[in-house]
Amino acid sequence: LLKVASKLFEDENQKLDFIQALVAPVPKPTALIWFVPKTHLGLIEIPLPSIYPDWVSLVPADSHIGRLPEHERGDFYCLDLSSVYAMQSLLKLLQDSELDSDSVVVDLCASPGGKSIFAARALRPAQLICNEVSGPRIPALLSNLKRCKILNATATQADPGYFSKFNQRVADLVLVDAPCSGQSLLAKGDKGFSVFSKPMINLNVGRQRRILAEASKIVCEGAYILYSTCTFCLEENEKNIEWFLKKFPRFTEISSGRMWPQDGLGAGSFYSLLKHDGERGSRQAIELEDIKNWPIFTAA
Ligand SMILES: C[S@@+](CC[C@H](N)C(=O)[O-])C[C@H]1O[C@@H](n2cnc3c(N)ncnc32)[C@H](O)[C@@H]1O
């Protein structure tokens, strides 16, 4: 932890605050993504910076929000604000009409669905493919998409390499919310200090790079990849992006950022928004015939 902190911060106080946030975590508030006009749910809302849209709210940590009927009805979806922080980088693309309701979005690492659900709410894309490689993680994804009534979503189960075999230049946006060492889980009270082990980090770097390389095939010319993690070390974040930009020189980084656990709003995240330099041209149709496809909605 000390080594990671020293690489991340020069300022001694910032370093100590970061370490403190991980060794003595305090409960974090919960962000709500609203699908209906916001109601107060009898809770005091925590004010949010203006980068967040008005259909996001933040409520105190001990709100037991998952037990409310409004949650069961799919009026909102709960997630850590760090996830919302990574995803808000897309709002600028929406403002600039770079993404709109004609867009096709592919989420390569989708379960349990937080980023897909944010994308559905923010962009209302024409097609949303929520892909998850791990079978045991599919039911949670299906249940969340269903509860939040994400009608135009398709849930698939494929390795990103298999998905890209049939689907090249199909998406206006590819989400890579990569499997990672999960160092931010410490800020939520998890005790696993193995998240700092070198082999664990290297294993993740390998798969993150592989997923990013597949994303580069799936995304259309001139379109976007949003890479994100919930871990802190440079290797899984900035260094991966350096590697990607060198290996795939047709991409540039449009924006990037980090949320730190010591700021008290979320457990922590990194994001990098990448753009292909080509002319926005035609898009190939999504091909799911050979890809395991899960029904989200079945006739009642
Ligand atoms: C950080 S989680 C995704 C969280 C999700 N995006 C959300 O916002 O709710 C990363 C996901 O990547 C999946 N995963 C693990 N190994 C993978 C691989 N080699 N290729 C693609 N996905 C993988 C995991 O099963 C996990 O569901």
Sequential DSSP letters for 28-46: PPEEEEESSS---TT-PPP
Q: How far is the CA of 211 from the centre of ligand 1 (A)?
A: 10
Is 113 close to ligand 1, i.e. is its CB under 6 Å away? yes
The pLDDT value recorded for residue 300 is 42
- CA of 16 from ligand 1 middle (Å) equals 31
Residue 209 structure tokens:
């790079």
Q: Is 173 helix (H, G, I), strand (E, B) or coil?
A: strand
What number is the average pLDDT over the span 179-189? 95
Tell me how far the alpha carbon of residue 53 lies from the centroid of ligand 1, in angstroms: 25
Q: Is the CB of 194 under 6 A from ligand 1?
A: no
In the β-sheet with 56-59, what is the strand arrangement from edge to edge? 56-59, 30-34, 76-79
Weakest mean pLDDT among 24-33, 61-70, 262-271 = 61-70
Q: Give the HSE-up count for residue 39: Cα atoms under 13 Å, Cβ half-sphere.
A: 11
pLDDT above 60: residue 26 = yes
Ligand 1 atom at minimum distance from 229 CA:
1
209 lines ligand 1 (CB under 6 A): no
Asked if residue 142 has pLDDT above 80, the reply is yes
The pLDDT, as a whole number, for residue 298 is 57
Ligand 1 mean position, distance from CA 83 (Å): 13
- Across 135-153, average pLDDT: 95
Q: Which numbered atom of ligand 1 lies nearest the CA of 134?
A: 25
- Percent of the chain exceeding pLDDT 90 equals 90
**Closest ligand 1 atom, residue 179 Cα:** 10
Residue 299 has pLDDT above 70, yes or no: no
Contacts of 148 (CB under 8 A, 6+ apart): 35, 74, 77, 113, 117, 120
> What CA–CA distance (Å, rounded) separates 18 from 14?
6
Q: In this structure, are strands 269-276 and 251-259 parallel, antiparallel, or unpaired?
A: antiparallel
CA–CA dist 263, 78 (Å, integer): 19
Residue 34, pLDDT score: 97
**What local confidence, expressed as pLDDT, does residue 194 receive?**
86
Tens digits of per-residue pLDDT, 83-94? 999 999 999 999
Looking from the CA of residue 177, the nearest atom of ligand 1 is 6
At 270, which helix (H) or strand (E)? strand 269-276
pLDDT reported for residue 197: 92
The answer, as to whether pTM is greater than 0.95, is: yes
Residue 11 Cα to ligand 1 middle (Å) = 33
Average pLDDT over residues 4-14: 95
Strands in 108-236 per DSSP E: 127-131, 153-157, 171-177, 219-229
Torsions phi, psi for 216 (to 5 deg): -65, -25
Strand 292-294, strand 127-131: pairing: unpaired
The reported pLDDT for the residue numbered 297 is 75
Tell me, in angstroms, the distance from the centre of ligand 1 to residue 191's CA.
21
Query: Helix, strand, or coil here: 289?
Result: coil
Question: Which residues fall within 8 angstroms of residue 73, CB to CB, at 6 or more apart?
Answer: none
Q: Is 177 in the pocket of ligand 1 (CB under 6 A)?
A: yes
Supply the mean pLDDT for the chain: 95
Q: How far apart are CA 232 and CA 234, in angstroms?
A: 6
Ligand 1 centroid to residue 289 C-alpha, Å: 22
Six token digits for residue 255 = 């924006």
The half-sphere exposure of 139 on its side-chain side, counting CA atoms within 13 A, is 1
CA gap 183, 166 in Å, rounded? 34
The H-or-E segment that residue 50 falls in is none
CA-to-CA distance for 219 and 106, rounded, in angstroms?
Answer: 9
Find out whether the beta carbon of 222 lies less than 6 Å from any atom of ligand 1: no
Q: What are phi and psi of 15, to 5 degrees?
A: -60, -45
